[in-house]
A = this chain, B = another copy of it.
Amino acid sequence: MTKTRSLLDETDKKILNILQKDCTVPLNKIAKLLDISKSTVHYRMKRLKSENIIEGYHAKVNFARLGDDFQAIIHIRAKYSKNYVEKVGKELAKIQGVWAIYNVLGDNDFIIMVRAINREELMNKLEEMRTSNLIERTNTVVIARILKEEERLFFETDIPQVDSTSALTSNDE
């Protein structure tokens, strides 16, 4: 009967939300928050990691605080060819400072995020792109201020409504 068997249950999502916000919180504390045992948390985290749902644990650095920060968003139109998405992606990935590459639908083929230390450095990176024979055009937007940059948490809407008849009610006891 309606065994939804999603990849993640609600406990997993709660754990992921906690770890996304701060992956240094002790198993102990997570266990208390979710009212399960420490080893269960450990077990689940290991599973999530091994299944590559958790891709890694990373420190977030505040570059704005360091000066020498010049970030931009570059819109790229590629020249079409067989497997151009992968090809162009690889080429872009090689450029120092390109930290995100999105293949997108619409006027452009890619939107990429770049960090440089100043205008000159950014221009050099742009030059690299413009001399590539895989790239048709670039359109660069300079970031004035980063107002937010956080984790992509799970929300209520992410949780499949497992309502059969009642389902809800029944707290543990």
Contact = CB atoms under 8 A, between A and B. Distances in A.
A57 B59 contact: yes
Given A89-B147, A102-B146, A63 B22 contact: no
A43 B140 CA distance: 40
B60 A157 contact: no
Interface string A51-90: 1111111111111011110000100000000000100010
22 contacts: A19-B58, A20-B61, A22-B56, A23-B57, A23-B58, A23-B59, A58-B59, A68-B158, A73-B104, A92-B147, A96-B157, A99-B152, A101-B146, A102-B147, A103-B145, A104-B144, A105-B141, A105-B142, A106-B141, A108-B141, A110-B147, A115-B152
**Of residues A24, A73, A102, A106, which shows the largest number of chain B Cβ atoms within 10 Å of its Cβ?**
A102
Given A141-B105, A145-B85, A146-B102, A52 B62 contact: yes
A150 interface: yes
Given A53-B62, A58-B59, A92-B147, 14 more contacts: A23-B58, A54-B59, A57-B59, A61-B151, A68-B160, A92-B148, A93-B148, A100-B148, A100-B150, A103-B147, A105-B144, A106-B142, A115-B152, A117-B158
Contacts of A19: 58-59
